[in-house]
Amino acid sequence: MVNRLKNFLGLSMDNLRSPLMGMWHSRLGCDLHRRDACATFLHRLVLRSVVLSMPTRRCLTVIPTNAGIQNGAAIHPCKRLDPRVREDDGLRSLLGRICCCVIVALTAPFASAETSPVYNLYPIPTPEGLSFEASALEVLPDGRVAVGLRKGEVWLIDGLYDNDPATTTFKKIAGALQEPLDLLYKDDGLYLVQRTELTHLRDTDGDDVIDVYRTVNNQWGVTGNYHEYAYGATPSKDGALWITLNITIGKMAYPEHGAWRGWGVKIWPDGRLEPMCAGMRSPCGLGTNLEGDVFYTDQQGNWVPAGSLHLLRKGAFYGHVDSLKSCDLPGSPIAKPEKVPAGIPLPQAKAEFPLLSLPAVWFPYKKVGMSTTDILCIENDEQLGPFKGQLLVGDFTTAAISRVYLEKVNGEYQGACFNFIDGFQSAVLRMDWGKDGSLLVGESNRGWNSYGTKSFGMDRVTWNGETPFEMQEMRLTPDGFILRFTKPVKAEAATNIGSYTLSSYTLMYHKNYGSPEIDTQAHAIQSATLSEDGMEVRLVTDPIRRYYIHEIHAEGVRSMDGEPLAHADGYYTANQLVVE
């Protein structure tokens, strides 16, 4: 029965177990994280039940794989559940009735999103019997792919671009590592960030097996707490490597060894560690834009009210108070504040506590993912369409990727996020561009909750060359926003103010887990003016609110062919205002 339920929902046993426990805790009024896990589980339950009686709707195209790979490990064909196939009507009918009774009372709706069909998803078969938890990913100069596995190995994949398992090979090249979470090819080897150090791996004799494991730096603290992850080895313009360090959450075996937890640090070519900025919770993703500026993502939790994208810079404090313990250490660029306000809205917190650095972009919880991860810049318009310079941001819980448009207002980065691609096998952890311009995605949910049909895996996304109909940009103006689309739009729909709705809200700055949306306000659309080329609409609206998230819906907009937007919603973070 449990296995049938697991397969029906597309969940691993770990995925199934956690939300069931969350259901129990949520009934007792326990913490928000477990209640959200319960909500995720129940929503998936009801959606799967409802979809059984609905016709198939095309979203992302999933390309099945054939069995077998070259080194003899049998691989089962990739499967996606087809709602037209009912192998157990009795169980499904029962589940449907259960869902109808409990779902409305216990959960809140998620934002709907449909991936444009111009993107194809190829699940990459991995060796049978191996938990291929792809937690680090780097495409080498020759096109082969180095993959770090969360449980301490590095593998080399060759031949994956042919979409033929028979020509795809896997070779283990390194082991005995501790939770590698990122890779960088540099100096004729791989820089690897593991829990306790930055390591340089080198193959000195050309046999594709690592011979030299050199410790570059191990000067950050580790107390023995399970949550002390290390991410990065992302190059900065000055030649140093950025690393971000998870805050300690829970009990510590050696609390005196907690230096620089919740900090971003630079490792210089001579191996020196320089502490740079503080206030991070789970800074899981790092990446650069086309200008070479380095950003990181953080995940919702205590002191972090929602997923966020920040510019890394020296002396910044991003909000998590526990990191301030290291301000007393030699080399800290931040003076420890005497008092940190709490339990107040973010705009008020910023006014009372100027040290607080707010993100360039907020990712509203459940509307655009739930747990942000990796960052990857779209380098050209040949990779995924007309989005050059924008950032892709992975999401752990929803096994999806969002897209971020950034602009500079008064010298500061801010911008909008949009849902983009979903349907991956498991939690999206790492991304990189393949040699052919396809998007490679490494996945592992670590036994926590995530969407998808597996607990780990890899996927490859290709673009068929057709332009998806999306909101390309959302730019701030003195009196509203300019929406730019990827295709010309119909004038009648685009200039109708009824085609749009706009609202704004903010979040709480507090030590509680996450935050609800607060102080929500509807903004009237006063006018909508279409550009001559039909690509942009200028919206004049009620006044924009500083430090608020502005949520736009353009459900009524249509392309010249009558096509609706693949994603009609955008979310703009307005830290700075445009002044005429």
Extents of the domains making up the chain: 119-463, 471-574
- SS3 of 70-105: the string is CCCCCCCCCCCCCCCCCCCHHHHHHHHHHHHHHHHH
CA distances from 58 to 82, 398, 566 (A): 11, 19, 12
Could you give the CA distance from residue 191 to residue 202 in angstroms, rounded to a whole number?
9
Check: pTM over 0.95? Answer yes or no. no
pLDDT single digits (tens) 496-550: 999 999 999 999 999 999 999 999 999 999 999 999 999 999 999 999 999 999 9
Q: What is the pLDDT of residue 37?
A: 43
Residues 6 or more apart in contact with residue 220 via CB below 8 angstroms: 230, 243, 245, 259, 260, 261, 263, 265, 273
Could you give the CA distance from residue 369 to residue 354 in angstroms, rounded to a whole number?
29
DSSP β-bridge partners for residue 190? 185, 201
Do 471-574 and 119-463 have the same topology in CATH? no
Q: What is the pLDDT of residue 12?
A: 42
Could you give the CA distance from residue 57 to residue 244 in angstroms, rounded to a whole number?
41
Q: Which amino acid is at 89?
A: D
- The first and second tokens of residue 190, run together, are 């791989």
Q: Which of 251, 535, 250, 285 is nearest to 432 (CA)?
A: 285
Q: What is the pLDDT of residue 231?
A: 98
Could you give the CA distance from residue 505 to residue 386 in angstroms, rounded to a whole number?
30
Q: What is the pLDDT of residue 328?
A: 97
Q: What is the pLDDT of residue 422?
A: 97
Q: What is the pLDDT of residue 47?
A: 39
Positive or negative: CA dihedral 160, 163, 167, 168:
positive
DSSP β-bridge partners for residue 534? none
When computed from its CA atoms, the radius of gyration of the chain, rounded to whole angstroms, is 23
In order, the DSSP letters of 362-381 are EE-TTTS-SSEEEEEE--ST
Could you give the CA distance from residue 378 to residue 402 in angstroms, rounded to a whole number?
12
pLDDT single digits (tens) 320-377: 999 999 999 999 999 999 999 999 999 999 999 999 999 999 999 999 999 999 999 9
Let me know: does 188 contact 90? Beta carbons within 8 Å: no
SS3 537: strand
Let me know: does 500 contact 488? Beta carbons within 8 Å: no
Q: What is the pLDDT of residue 580?
A: 81
- SS3 of 495-510: the string is CCHHHCEEEEEECEEC
Which stretches of 434-523 are DSSP H helices? 491-494
Residues of the chain with pLDDT under 50: 1-61, 63-112
Q: What is the pLDDT of residue 410?
A: 98
In order, the DSSP letters of 283-348 are --EEEE-TT--EEEEE-SBBTB-SEEEEE--TT-B-S-GGGGGGGGSTT-SSPPPS----SEEHHH
Q: Report phi then psi at 315, rounded to 5.
A: 85, 0
- The first and second tokens of residue 440, run together, are 């490679």
What is 471-574's CATH number? Answer: 2.60.40.1220
Let me know: does 222 contact 230? Beta carbons within 8 Å: no
- The first and second tokens of residue 262, run together, are 């919740």
> How, if at all, do strands 412-421 and 400-409 pair?
antiparallel
SS3 268: coil
Let me know: does 479 contact 541? Beta carbons within 8 Å: yes
In which element (H, E) is residue 477 found? Answer: strand 471-477
In which element (H, E) is residue 27 found? Answer: helix 13-27
Could you give the CA distance from residue 394 to residue 405 in angstroms, rounded to a whole number?
15
CATH class, domain 119-463, is: mainly beta
Q: What is the pLDDT of residue 163?
A: 82
